[in-house]
Copies of this chain bind each other. A is one copy, B any other.
């Protein structure tokens, strides 16, 4: 026994493992596709069957596509506000009009930058709109934009219910997207929608090792899971939009991504500028 081991009590715990598997073989998703069925079908080839406590993380893009959340830019007439913002941000005015239709507030508008509060309550660039690789099958490029799902929590709940009905397994579901953040560079996965697991984990009242009040009392669990899934999903193509996760060391419960949104009144960094 080393000196280090002899000097203090070992805090022993079994070797906990978290395993994330990217499901292969998912076809390019089109509007109207049955996503629940496609994902179930992809589990077998990955050697997986759903078990209680598993979590399925899905890239927002394929949920939005399956739900037909597409807008054809040629059909959009920019409002005066959109024209004004388009000039300021140097963006396509029709694109800006769709951003506005998906937003409750514009927070920052600068050249090439349009940061808003999405109608769902979170802060992100361009209301999460996606122009890349979204044209419906057979249509030309550059003419379409993909909005976020209408209600990501509800989309998660529907998938969870389908899988429960078809497999008996009680699984968590997260829809993730990659968002920038205020003080740090790069994007990270965040949870847009959650079902069957905590969005925000509240640890208040759980004493730590020496019975001293925990300093960190709330964990953005849905976001940490979204970030972990994003790590494996990658960005460069749609080859890995669904991640199966097993080993989450927290009990599942009903949840919502709304738990992760800080109320405006409590947000010290929401000043207009």
A interface residues (Cβ-Cβ under 8 A, vs B): 2, 4-5, 7-28, 30, 33-34, 37-38, 41, 45-47, 108, 110, 113, 115, 122-123, 130-133, 135, 137, 141, 178, 181-190, 200-201, 203, 206, 208-210, 212-216, 218-221, 223-225, 227-228, 230-232, 234-240, 247-249, 259-262, 267-271, 273
Tell me which of B9, B18, B30, B201 contacts A27 (CB under 8 A). B9
CA–CA, A167 to B115, complex, Å?
47
With A23-B15, A220-B188, A269-B182 known to touch, is A234 a contact of B215 (CB < 8 Å)? Answer: no
Contact indicator B231/A248 (Cβ below 8 Å) = yes
Of the candidates B11, B122, B227, the one whose C-beta lies within 8 Å of that of A183 is B122
* 10 A-B pairs whose Cβ atoms sit less than 8 Å apart in the complex: A10-B27, A113-B268, A131-B212, A181-B182, A181-B220, A184-B220, A185-B259, A186-B260, A219-B235, A271-B273
Complex contact B185–A262 (CB within 8 A): yes
Q: Which B residues touch A227, using CB under 8 A?
A: 188-189, 223-224, 227-228
Beta-carbon contact of B8 and A27 below 8 Å: yes
Residue numbers in B under 8 Å from A273 (CB-CB) = 268, 271
Contacts of A212 in B (CB 8 A): 131-133, 141
* Residues of chain B within 8 A of A19, CB atoms compared: 17-20
Instruction: Tell me if A200 and B183 are in contact (CB < 8 A).
Output: no
Residue from A16, A23, A225 with most neighbouring chain B CB atoms (10 Å) = A16
**Complex Cα–Cα for A13 and B45 (A):** 11
Chain B contacts for A268, CB-based, 8 A: 108, 110, 113, 115, 182, 273
One of B7, B232, B248 near A249 (C-beta < 8 A)? B232
Q: From the candidates B15, B178, B237, name the one contacting A216 in the complex (CB within 8 A).
A: B178
Give which listed residue, B24, B213, B223, B248, contacts A132 with CB less than 8 A.
B213
- Let me know if A189 and B224 touch, CB within 8 A: yes
Q: Check A186/B200 contact, CB under 8 A, given A10-B27, A26-B10, A27-B4.
A: yes
* Contact indicator A38/B4 (Cβ below 8 Å): yes
